[in-house]
Chain A
């Protein structure tokens, strides 16, 4: 939308045209969080156990994620506003844009809690100079600047549901080894938000796509698949440039394939990467979603499933077996 109607209309949430708008608005607002909620300083002793190379890798990966969040906050989501079909969709998109700013801001909280300023400055310099990071961001921005709303939505879903995951892998990996577990809790909040964003924009994409003739739909699908493979090429090089140092590149790529499939599914397309190359390390899957009755990550201080026990006085009967 973003065109000024005459007369100018006030948004009415009691007359919703697309129920998904309200459903997603409710989900996003109930998910709202700020980095201050997470006790990041509990990770200071753990940070000290990482080697210099591991610390540098972690900072670089987090600046890479910050860069993508910045793009999404100030360019991506804003570029989608113009195509919104309803005023409620506009409201949801502005919520998404703001949360991307919160995500970008969170990495700075991690840095100020754990790292030395010169090291962080180095990592930011690295993010300006890393060929693959710059390439994937420009590639996405190129489509955000186009006037094609379907392509913009595809770019957005690929950023939110695919490109972040080479970065998300590392905190999940540390967490699976009981390192930086509070940082991992914060990243899990971001991962949860990105799922809703990809889901919603993917849904709006599908809705728009249905208005087109079958042949155009096929063309758009072909475009999405080739766009994904181009991004995948860059993403593989990016992954190798970072994870080769700790010998994890191949494991990260499994995670990339798995998430590429989910990005396609968010757009309403079938998964493309076969299961034998989507065999994500079970430790990573379990760091992502501990099965509900599994033990809570005991090292963490802020997990969502962390419940403080209630004290109850014992009676003699408790000791009769």
Chain B
């Protein structure tokens, strides 16, 4: 028990504990203050956090700048949506199919893109994501550009995803699971190989590691968790559309990971919270200054990012003091 409470003795540990505590009771808070809208934002923060953590696995720990990660929102989402539109409502079917589709796509894209480096890798991952984007926009049977309204996955007798609080808690538990896995992963043999390859891949190969295989496995793993986030996002809005996986969303995910702190366990969580809180607060603030300006909130957000890039290279995580271990 003492070991479990030890992290609370540092400011960093306290902040994490506080954030997770607020997240754990969020539906109770929003109900008490009658702020339903906030629960919806909270749910999206949790889902985006899962996606950001999954991107951080390859971007933060692997140093692989994938510029197409939102494609997994789309693949996870559309797998659920297309099955639902064909009358297959069971989550027990939808979810494994969606994860399997994400894994397959990640393996295929990874096998081709990981043979390149730097800017080529960025462009190839973007190109593959755009490919899926345009295919989804061309699916006339499934709403094409307009997207597709769906009913939520059914886990009969277990949980009703139409209940906002239940759905939120499911997302939260999955976020905890993702965090737990990522924490173990980062310090496992696999994680060390991935991080070593980020540090110096020539050296890792000379040590005898087939670096490509480990990167491919990481890319695939990352896709699986990204697909999970896609499943949740589709269920959150009861809607899927090509816009879920536009390249802008992929960019947002990179921004979130960099903002929060690449290669740190809780960085993606901080980044997602900061991103959503800034978006939700800058919009009305700017609208207050001049009606219609809220749409351009990124004019303020952009310079903030530049400052982070210049003065806090480790992102928000680095502002919380030195890390231990």
Do A and B pair up? The answer is no
- Name A residues whose Cβ lies closer than 8 Å to a Cβ of B: none
